[in-house]
């Protein structure tokens, strides 16, 4: 069990390094306004299989094609995050309370925010 987890971590590190390497020329030439933070965001948010698929596709492209693939991946990642955010919002609207929601009992006064 522990061996399997270590193996997965190693594979994940390998794919992240691969993505960073493939993105190097894109970042140094500032294609499509992509940044190190964009690549790191993908490294963190994608799983091993998604990273592997993206890197495989990028290896078959020239620099501009790679930049477009990164931009697509960022768009897909943002859509997934947006969908999760909307799901949480819907759950809160269905009666559950969010972390920042407050209920004040016994006060008829309205608070003024400074």
Q: Which residues contact 63 (CB under 8 A, 6 or more apart)?
A: 25, 26, 29, 31
How does pLDDT run along the chain (114 residues), one tens digit per residue? 788 999 999 999 999 999 999 999 999 999 999 999 999 999 999 999 999 999 999 999 999 999 999 999 999 876 665 555 556 555 555 554 544 454 444 444 454 554
Delimit the domains of the chain by residue range.
2-93
Alpha carbons 24 and 49: distance in angstroms, whole number: 21
Q: 21-51: buried (b, 16+ CB within 10 Å) or exposed (e) per residue?
A: ebbeebbeeebeebeeebbebbbebbeeeeb
Other residues' Cβ atoms within 10 Å of the Cβ of residue 3: 7
Q: What is the distance between the alpha carbons of residues 68 and 53, in angstroms, rounded to a whole number?
A: 15
C-alpha to C-alpha distance for 72 and 9, rounded to whole angstroms = 25
């Amino acid at each position: 069990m522990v061996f399997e987890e270590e193996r997965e971590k190693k594979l994940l590190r390998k794919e992240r390094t691969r993505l960073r390497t493939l993105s190097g020329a894109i970042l140094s030439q500032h294609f499509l306004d992509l940044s190190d933070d964009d690549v790191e965001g993908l490294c963190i948010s994608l799983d091993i299989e998604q990273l592997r698929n993206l890197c495989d596709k990028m290896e078959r492209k020239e620099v501009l094609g790679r930049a477009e693939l990164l931009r697509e991946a960022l768009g897909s990642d943002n859509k997934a995050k947006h969908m999760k955010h909307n799901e949480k919002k819907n759950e809160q609207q269905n009666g559950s309370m969010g972390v920042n929601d407050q209920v004040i009992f016994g006060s008829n006064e309205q608070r003024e925010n400074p």
